[in-house]
Amino acid sequence: MLSASLFFVLACAFLIHVSKDGDTAGLWWCIAFFGLGALVFAWQLVRPQILVLNGQGFSLGGGLVRSPKLVPWKDIEGFFVVHRRRRIGDMIGYNFAPGSRKARSCAASPKAWAPKPHYPRAGHCRPRRW
């Protein structure tokens, strides 16, 4: 992804250089968009994401996360595999335990956060227990 972003930045810069009519606003937006993407991908190479597991809980750090937050084991009810479509890859999901601090913070709108009837207890993703 880094090489693709850099390719588009260089291609747009070349098109701006050879442009004769001066209408290059779209090309500058292209450079800004893909340049930002290149910066993010480069930052991920310098500071990759890490998952820290210990006796108290787990936290995700590195990458664009400035200060990792510890999720205590007592606040987690269970883990499951989230199968995504189009061969993107699977992810690990988890549910907060009833009454946990994180579960209470999401209860601002009970109807909006209520689980879907065909996917119980996981909202938009289908839980599959290990």
Same domain, 59 and 102: yes
Residue 71 lies in a domain: yes
What is residue 34's predicted lDDT score, i.e. its pLDDT?
93
Range of the domain at 36: 2-46
What is residue 102's predicted lDDT score, i.e. its pLDDT?
61
Residue 129 lies in a domain: no
| Structure tokens belonging to residue 3 | 């090489």
User: In sequence order, which residues have a C-beta less than 8 Å from that of residue 103 and are 6 or more positions away?
Assistant: 75, 96, 97
What is residue 69's predicted lDDT score, i.e. its pLDDT?
86
Residue 64 lies in a domain: yes
In the chain, the number of structural domains is 2
This prediction has a pTM of: 0.54
Same domain, 35 and 59: no
Same domain, 58 and 85: yes
What is residue 61's predicted lDDT score, i.e. its pLDDT?
87
- Mean pLDDT, consecutive 10-residue segments, the chain of 130 residues? 89 88 87 92 88 88 85 86 77 82 45 46 47
Residue 121 lies in a domain: no
Same domain, 41 and 63: no
Same domain, 38 and 66: no
User: In sequence order, which residues have a C-beta less than 8 Å from that of residue 45 and are 6 or more positions away?
Assistant: 2
Residue 130 lies in a domain: no
